[in-house]
Structures are given as structure tokens and as C-alpha cells.
Amino acid sequence: MRSEDEKNIARGSVCECNECIIRDLMFTHVPSDGSKYVCKTKVEVHFKKGEIIVRSGDEIKSMICIKEGLTKIYRSSRKHSDQIISITKPFEFTYLLSIFSDSHYNFNISAIENTTVCFISLENIKKMISENGSFAMSLLQKLSTATDNVIKNFTDINQKNLSGRVAYILLLFSDEIYKSPVFNLPVSRKEIAELIGMTTENVIRIMSEFRKEGIIRIRTREIEIKDYQRLKLIMDQG
Amino acid sequence: MRSEDEKNIARGSVCECNECIIRDLMFTHVPSDGSKYVCKTKVEVHFKKGEIIVRSGDEIKSMICIKEGLTKIYRSSRKHSDQIISITKPFEFTYLLSIFSDSHYNFNISAIENTTVCFISLENIKKMISENGSFAMSLLQKLSTATDNVIKNFTDINQKNLSGRVAYILLLFSDEIYKSPVFNLPVSRKEIAELIGMTTENVIRIMSEFRKEGIIRIRTREIEIKDYQRLKLIMDQG
DNA sequence: AACAGATAATGATACATATCATATTTCAGG
DNA sequence: CCTGAAATATGATATGTATCATTATCTGTT
């Protein structure tokens, strides 16, 4: 049976995206024909909202870079519900460094919006690292920053009470992802709960409280942050 | 004012440790004079239990490898108590990948046992990475495995109830660190609480319960795991 | 347009965990 | 050996959060 990666690559077409980190790194560090290893094997694949991109247990054959849309990395455990580890934005790599530590995925990745991703042959990336140290160094820097942020988010969220966590996630979407006070939540309340470690009911309840207090406006998935300062205060004090 | 690193290096002597990961990687990947960059600048420093090795905010000038003893990486937040991110054993690097993502430490590191650490000039490590891709690749693999484990531990612990967490930490010390059913806890109950995200009182309470049930024996810091299977069950079910 | 299933919303209650208060023990320093 | 501060221990209570139950709303499908 073919792996997900192989199936995905088979679906894809050659990618020419200019903002790509890898392309950027190659342009900076690989003198002439950087395309030798990477560009030939890059393929773009589109996933609809909700579709699974890779599954825990699959063999890792690609680095996956988000071109457009939004994805989540998550663990599924037998008894409990899923736990979301992080959300990945355009021009970030989905899977952090873990691609170097294991031959198979330990987490799942799925699209939480319609998403275009770029599969880049991991074998070739490894070859590039081995042959070009300054490329390696730059890639290492980018990946470790992302990993650091994941750890920082975990510790931040862990210390907050429920209101603080909900405030945190609303500000994340507003400030970091959509860069607007009005946005459509790409995730269900259940997924928010999985992201910040609480129950679905309490996510809903606390969002309702924020609404009653005039801090946010809710129209199902559409959220408007009306009192930014207050929400920030709740996040910081939670 | 000199950074902690500089002060530490000034205290140290040249290190000749054979089990060192860096030395091992160099031996594998650097043909002849691997010592050129690294060995000359390696220094061993001893820290007494409780001493701080690096402080959040210090400039990062070294990779720090534990030779002997045990250290903790932790965040100090204004209001709440510290949060321990991970415990580092001999022949592991204390600071994971973060050394590549920032110029200054974001976390603190301190010795939780009498500890000997090895400071290796970061500048030289970076030079090695740039000049030797296969060294870079191996280092990347080792560091990303460690980082992966930190993330996995976070998600594991988060899903457990208090009993499960205490069981987890006791088994960690017994299985991973001391490899013996009897060991002296290197950390206070307060530090255990900071490591697994609960209050000191509840750590004590649950350990007492385990004692009353005959699962462990406690003599202050000395712990004996008497019913390994039961403890494991509590960890898994919690 | 109507339906069904998923998602969101809200309340009542149970449970887990934190907080507060108070002993008791341990241990470093004089 | 004593002493006091820190760590450990235990109980009572308060609080936060999860769970369970029910209804309302949304969304996609026929």
C-alpha cells in the first residue's frame, strides 16, 4: 500500500511558489542550481477543509510547507479526545523538527481551512543539509524558532485559567492569523477546546460570557473583538 | 558586565570527556582534526545542587552538555511559581534547539544535583554546522528527538489526573534516570509540582496515598517503588 | 423547503483540584 | 546539641472545571 505522502505527491503538480522558505533559503545559500534537489520534487496539493494531510504512523517522506490556508497538528489518544499541538499558517512548516527525529509521523495533520500545501522531498532536503552547511544552519534556525514557540505556548496556556485561555486563542486568531478584529473562526468550539485543553461546553460558556460583557460579538463562527484591551487583560491575568 | 557564560567558562578547565555527544559526532563526521573548533573551547564546570547555570536573558554563547548530575530547565513567571520544562540527564544538551532560535536565553537552567556540565562554544558549533553538513544532519537528528520528547511529555502529562501525574514522575525517576526501584528524589515536592503542573500540597497528599496503599515507601527524599505494576496502571489510567 | 445530524448554547450538578490553616518533621548553621 | 527556617504532612473548605441533560441553532443534503 502506498503511503499518504506518495498518494499526495501523485495528486500534485510542480510548485513554483516564490515566498517559499525553502526556495528563499536556497536562493540565499545555494549558488547556482539550487533547483537541482528541491524544485524538481516540490509538488503542490490542495486539501479541502477537514481533510487529513498526514496520519500518525505514516512514513515521513516530505517536508510540508503551507502555501495557503491553515492546518492543525494533533495527537489522537484512545480514550480522550484529540489534543491539538499547534496551528500552522502559510509559509510555515507543519511538522517542525520532528521530521528529523523519526521515520514515521507521531502526530496527525489536517486542514482546518481549504489549504494548499507544498510537499518537498525530505530525502533531498537531507541531502541539501549534508552538502550545504549554511543552508543547514538557516533551516535549523527557522525550525527551532517554530519549535520554541510551540513549547512557549504550552507553558503559557497551562498557567492560565479557562477565561485566560479563551482570550488567548481569540487574540491568537485576531492578531497572529487574520490580523483583523473581525474574523471567521476556522475551528469549531470543540477544536478550540482541544487546542487549549478544556471542555467544549466551557469554551462555549466563556465565549458567551465575553459576549454578555460586550467584549466580543458572536455570530456563530464570525467573531468580532469589540474590547481588545479588556480581552488582553483577561488573557494576561488568567 | 560579563555574561553568566563567560563567568562560567572562566571557572572551567579543558574537558576531555569521552562519552560526549559532540565528540562522538565529530569522531563520526569530522575526518581528521575535529578538535580544531570544539575541543579547544570545551570547558568543564561544576555546579553544586541548587546553583543556577544560566539565567533567562543571558546571552547564549555555549551549548551546554551535562556530563554528570541532573539539571532542570524552567520558566519563572511573575505571579505564579516556576514551571519546569524538562529535566536533563548526563550526555544530553540542556537547552535543546532553542540555542539556534534566539541570541538570549528564554529559560533558566539550574542544577538539581551536584552537576558537571560542559560548555562548548556555540560559535564554533555553528561553524562546524556550516562547514560540515553530515555533522549538521546528525546533530539535528539528536536535538530534534529531544525536543520531540519534551512536546510529547507535555501532552501526556496534560491529559492525566493528579494521581497519574505523580505516578508518571515517580516512574520517570525510577526507570529513566536512576534505573532503580529505590532512589533519592533530587527535587522537592514543590519542584515536582512545578514539573507536572499541580500544587505542592497535592503532590504530597497523593504520595502519601500511594504510601498508605503500599505502592511506594517514603522516607522523606528516599523513595522505593514497591508495587511497580500498580503504579504503572495508575499512570496509564490517569 | 424540509429534514437530519452536527454544532452551539445554557443550566444543574458532581467532581477534581486549589487554597487556607495548622501541625510535624527535617536539616543547615550557629 | 540547639534553634529556626524550610520542607513535609494532613485536614477543612472553597473554587474551578467537567459532566450530564436539554434545547436551540446552524449547515448541508435531498
In this structure, of A3-12, A99-108, B111-120, B170-179, the range with the lowest mean pLDDT score is A3-12
Check if B154 contacts A (Cβ < 8 Å). yes
Specify the higher pLDDT residue, A234 or B133.
A234
**Chain A: closest CA distance from residue B126 (Å):** 7
Nearest to B22 by CA among B127, B102, B155: B127
Strand C closer than 7 A to residue A208 Cβ: yes
pLDDT bin (cut points 50, 70, 90) of residue B183 is: very high
pLDDT tens for residues A142-174?
888 888 899 999 999 999 999 999 999 999 999
Specify the higher pLDDT residue, A145 or B36.
A145
| Interval B125-138 mean pLDDT | 87
Alpha carbon distance B115, B51 (integer Å) = 9
Nearest to A108 by CA among A50, A153, A185: A50
pLDDT bin (cut points 50, 70, 90) of residue A16 is: low
By the 10 Å C-beta count (0-12 exposed, 13-18 middle, 19+ buried), A115 is classed as buried
Question: Could you tell me the distance in Å between the CA of residue B220 and the C1' of nucleotide D7?
Answer: 9
**pLDDT beyond 70 at A12:** no
Q: What is the pLDDT of residue B124?
A: 85
Q: What is the pLDDT of residue A134?
A: 85
- Mean confidence (pLDDT) of chain A: 86
**Chain B: closest CA distance from residue A182 (Å):** 31
Question: Could you tell me the distance in Å between the CA of residue B171 and the C1' of nucleotide D16?
Answer: 29
Tell me the chain B residues in contact with residue A132 when contact means C-beta distances shorter than 8 Å. 133
User: Is B126 within 8 Å of A148 when comparing Cβ atoms?
Assistant: no
Phi and psi of A188, rounded to 5°?
-75, 165
Nearest to B165 by CA among B135, B133, B141, B197: B197
Name residue, grid cell 539550574. B110
- Asked if residues B162 and B169 have their Cβ atoms less than 8 Å apart, the reply is no
Strand D closer than 7 A to residue B208 Cβ: yes
- Cell numbers of A49, please? 477543509
Most confident of A97-106, B140-149, B179-188: B179-188
**pLDDT beyond 80 at B200:** yes
Most confident of A103-107, A122-126, B131-135, B171-175: B171-175
| Interval B26-37 mean pLDDT | 60
pLDDT bin (cut points 50, 70, 90) of residue A112 is: very high
Local structure of A2: helix, strand or coil = coil
Check if A131 contacts B (Cβ < 8 Å). yes
| Interval B203-213 mean pLDDT | 97
Phi and psi of B12, rounded to 5°?
-90, 175
Check if B138 contacts A (Cβ < 8 Å). no
| Interval B195-224 mean pLDDT | 96
The predicted model scores a pTM of 0.88
Alpha carbon distance A66, A121 (integer Å) = 15
Alpha carbon distance A129, A139 (integer Å) = 9
Whole-angstrom CA distances from B111 to B41, B72, B74, B189 are 22, 6, 11, 16
**pLDDT beyond 70 at A37:** no
Strand D closer than 7 A to residue A162 Cβ: yes
Chain B 143-202 residues in 7 Å CB range of strand D: 185, 188-190, 200-201
Most confident of A130-139, A152-161, B44-53, B166-175: B166-175
pLDDT tens for residues B63-122?
999 999 999 999 987 666 889 999 999 989 988 778 888 899 989 999 999 999 989 889
**pLDDT beyond 70 at A4:** no
- Mean confidence (pLDDT) of chain B: 86
If phi > 0 it is left, if psi is from -120 to 50 it is alpha, else beta; for residue A100 that is: alpha
Local structure of B114: helix, strand or coil = coil
Nearest CA in chain A to B81: A159
Q: What is the pLDDT of residue B31?
A: 61
- Asked if residues A69 and A114 have their Cβ atoms less than 8 Å apart, the reply is yes
Nearest to B115 by CA among B53, B39, B41, B23: B53
Q: Which site among B84, B100, B131, B150 would you substitute to test the A interface, given the most A Cβ atoms closer than 10 Å to its Cβ? A: B100
Sheet holding A13-14, edge to edge: A13-14, A43-47, A115-121, A62-68
- Cell numbers of B25, please? 559526532
Query: Within 10 A of A189 (CB to CB), how many other CB atoms are there?
Result: 18
Check if B140 contacts A (Cβ < 8 Å). yes
Name residue, grid cell 536565553. B105
Q: What is the pLDDT of residue A39?
A: 61
Nearest CA in chain A to B130: A133
Q: What is the pLDDT of residue B228?
A: 97
Alpha carbon distance B31, A42 (integer Å) = 33
